[in-house]
């Protein structure tokens, strides 16, 4: 026998030397929730270790992420009041815009401060857009709200706008708004292949979602692989600087397709349900927590993600360093 692949697995040093995929702290983005009116961080029961931050605890967590070498943070706002059109999303004094200014002031030179551009946290019906008279999400009316959100977030200092609403034409609409109003230098992260997934469950608690029903009329059908690539092609054509696949672990085939075809960076979001499952299994002693965390993120990078949004970003970055 002359073909012995085990030769390259014999020692930790050899395995490290021939590793095909490497993780680095700068490849990681930390999603963070900021709750309006909170005087202290509020634990999220379905996501052990993750909290809704107060503005003070946000600042401390941002510093910790920067010191760990994390590449960026993605901010989500949790407002005290909601309405049908998500007014808080475009209010300069709304929680997301206030948190963005605080984040930029604290770590803007060390981290890429990113913002979630979607209405679901701010609407009393919980959908990602405004509704028409029949209660359906009105795509084109929603685009007008997204344009206003983009300008509010860019004015607050967001370095990257994360368009997660899955409206047709959202990238083109936001790109036009930014270019027209003096923000041509602000890049767009298009959540291009975002699927209507059961794995978003704990996120609903994290943002105190008001959603009744589901989002299957605008998020992708989990059965469809080619459609994900079509959406990515459309976002790139409309001017997205980066595209996203979400969720990550259940859609590694879509991620691999996107990585092979996209001319722009491809990111993936390891969502709340993926996080919660590993934490729950580890809490029961069923799996090795650290190895499972590392392997799960490594698998997403291996499939082609240039960066990974993960709630373990700061902790994992510390291990890697």
Q: Which residues contact 219 (CB under 8 A, 6 or more apart)?
A: 166, 194, 195, 196, 197
Mean pLDDT score, 300-314:
98
Is the confidence at residue 317, as pLDDT, over 90?
yes
> Whole-number mean pLDDT of the chain?
97
In whole angstroms, what is the distance from residue 262 CA to residue 243 CA?
8
CA-closest candidate to residue 49, choices 311, 317, 319, 318: 311
Residue 15 lies in a domain: no
Residue 209's CB is within 10 A of a number of other CB atoms, namely: 17
pLDDT over 70, % of the chain: 100
Q: Where are the beta strands (DSSP E) in the chain?
A: 28-35, 42-43, 51-53, 72-78, 112-117, 160-163, 188-194, 242-246, 266-269, 307-309
Residue 249's CB is within 10 A of a number of other CB atoms, namely: 19
| Domain at 256, CATH number | 3.20.20.70
Residue 188 lies in a domain: yes
Which residues are catalytically annotated? Answer: 194, 246
Mean pLDDT score, 257-269:
98
SS3 sequence of 176-222: HHHHHCCCCCCCEEEEEEEECCHHHHHHHHHCCCCCCCCCCCCCECC
In whole angstroms, what is the distance from residue 303 CA to residue 172 CA?
28
Structure tokens at 140: 């084109």
Q: Which residues contact 320 (CB under 8 A, 6 or more apart)?
A: 23, 24, 25, 69
**Strand, coil or helix: what is 119?**
coil
pLDDT in tens, 101-155: 999 999 999 999 999 999 999 999 999 999 999 999 999 999 999 999 999 999 9
Residue 25 lies in a domain: yes
Residue 240 lies in a domain: yes
pLDDT in tens, 194-244: 999 999 989 888 988 888 788 999 999 999 999 999 999 999 999 999 999
In whole angstroms, what is the distance from residue 196 CA to residue 246 CA?
9
**Strands 51-53 and 42-43, bridge-based pairing:** antiparallel
CA-closest candidate to residue 64, choices 279, 280, 313: 313
Structure tokens at 14: 């050899």
CA dihedral 52, 40, 37, 57 (to 10 degrees): -70
Residue 4 lies in a domain: no
Q: Which residues contact 134 (CB under 8 A, 6 or more apart)?
A: none
Q: What is the domain extent for residue 120?
A: 21-320
Q: Which residues contact 13 (CB under 8 A, 6 or more apart)?
A: none
Residue 59 lies in a domain: yes
Q: What's the structural domain count of the chain?
A: 1
Residue 1 lies in a domain: no
**Strand, coil or helix: what is 75?**
strand
pLDDT in tens, 158-198: 999 999 999 999 999 999 999 999 999 999 999 999 999 99
Residue 11 lies in a domain: no
């Amino acid at each position: 026998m002359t073909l012995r692949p085990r030769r390259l697995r014999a020692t930790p040093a050899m395995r490290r030397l021939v590793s095909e995929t490497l993780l680095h702290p700068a490849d990681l983005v930390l999603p963070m929730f900021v709750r309006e009116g909170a005087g202290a961080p509020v634990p999220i029961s379905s996501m052990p270790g993750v909290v809704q931050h107060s503005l003070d605890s946000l600042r401390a967590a941002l510093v910790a992420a920067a010191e760990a070498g994390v590449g960026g943070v993605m901010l989500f706002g949790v407002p005290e009041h909601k309405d049908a059109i998500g007014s808080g999303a475009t209010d300069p004094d709304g929680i997301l815009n206030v948190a963005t200014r605080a984040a930029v002031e604290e770590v803007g030179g060390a981290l890429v401060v990113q913002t979630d551009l979607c209405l679901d946290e701010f609407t009393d019906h919980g959908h990602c857009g405004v509704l028409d008279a029949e209660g359906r999400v009105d795509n084109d009316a929603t685009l007008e709200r997204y344009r206003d959100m983009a300008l509010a977030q860019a004015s607050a200092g967001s370095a990257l706008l994360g368009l997660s609403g899955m409206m047709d034409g959202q990238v083109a609409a936001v790109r036009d708004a930014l270019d027209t109003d003096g923000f041509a230098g602000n890049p767009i992260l298009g959540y291009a292949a975002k699927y209507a997934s059961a794995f978003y469950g704990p996120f609903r608690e994290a943002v105190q979602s008001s959603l009744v029903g589901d989002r299957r009329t605008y998020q992708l059908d989990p059965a469809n692989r080619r459609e994900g690539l079509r959406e990515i092609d459309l976002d790139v054509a409309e001017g997205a600087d980066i595209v996203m696949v979400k969720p990550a672990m259940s859609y590694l085939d879509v991620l691999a397709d996107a990585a092979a075809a996209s001319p722009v960076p491809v990111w993936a979001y390891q969502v709340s349900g993926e996080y919660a499952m590993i934490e729950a299994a580890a809490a029961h002693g069923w799996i090795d927590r650290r190895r499972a965390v590392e392997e799960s993120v490594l698998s997403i990078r291996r499939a082609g993600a240039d960066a990974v949004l993960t709630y373990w970003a700061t902790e994992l970055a510390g291990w890697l360093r």
